[in-house]
Structure 1
């Protein structure tokens, strides 16, 4: 192999490594990221209310400002026109606490479900839409962060 090819390969590898390091450094300044989202629906039984609970982990390098949550039935108007970030800004907020890491936060949203509520819910698959906003104003909208079933 000629010396010229070896030098070109080494120079190319150095450029790629530098670009990769820049990409990793830049990725830390991105929008909030959601992970490990779960949803649980428990129907009311007898005189006891049921509940809906959503939880997720959020990574936001500048810190998490808010997390909005909206559960919506698959068989609804939202199936064709999913919620927008503007609409989600008016949704209910989850409670969030730091996980002890530099930029990690665990968020949970819980609401009681009465027998009257449950009777009006469409049966079948539901989705949970989530809007995460960091301290710098960057947002992440996931209109189907997780699914659950109302039976």
Structure 2
């Protein structure tokens, strides 16, 4: 075998190995969405009108944000939803603040009748974020708030 063919083969193998390693590094660099600066707030209804529940959070992913599912539930219920169950709940409204970040807000009006049926005390918010590339992040207790009548 000539030295020229041997050197070409080695250079080709090194180049191919570098491309494969680079592809692996890119594949492993993908990250799951993150939820930051989340807050939940409950306002009881008054004689003047309905109350509300609002959950706001900044969702970030390197591919962008596709969706955020939100569920509020009373601690006394022992509900503790799973990621699979979260796929079937309502979505927040997400507005992009950059290519990688969106501010997501979920708001629910609460009537006096609904408030009367709500368990008082501690409530949790579960959240399921989905990135544009399909990656998901589930946070079973993304926020806590208190319901009082």
TM-score, length-scaled by structure 2: 0.78
Taking a change above 3 Å as real, the CA distance of residues 102 and 46 of structure 1, as seen in their structure-2 partners, is same
| Divergent runs of 4+, >6 A | none
Q: 2:90 aligns with which of 89, 92, 98?
A: 92
Corresponding residue SS for 2:88: coil
Bigger radius of gyration: 2
Give the conservation status (yes or no) of the 8 Å contact 1:28–1:61.
no
Report the RMSD for the aligned CA atoms in angstroms: 1.5
Residues 1-40 of structure 1 aligned to structure 2 (within 5 Å) = 29-40=30-41
Segments of structure 1 that go 5 or more residues without pairing to the other structure are 1-24
Segments of structure 2 that go 5 or more residues without pairing to the other structure are 1-25
TM-score, length-scaled by structure 1: 0.77
Q: Per-residue deviation at 1:54?
A: 0.5
Residue of structure 2 in register with 1:66 after alignment: 67
* Count of paired positions: 123
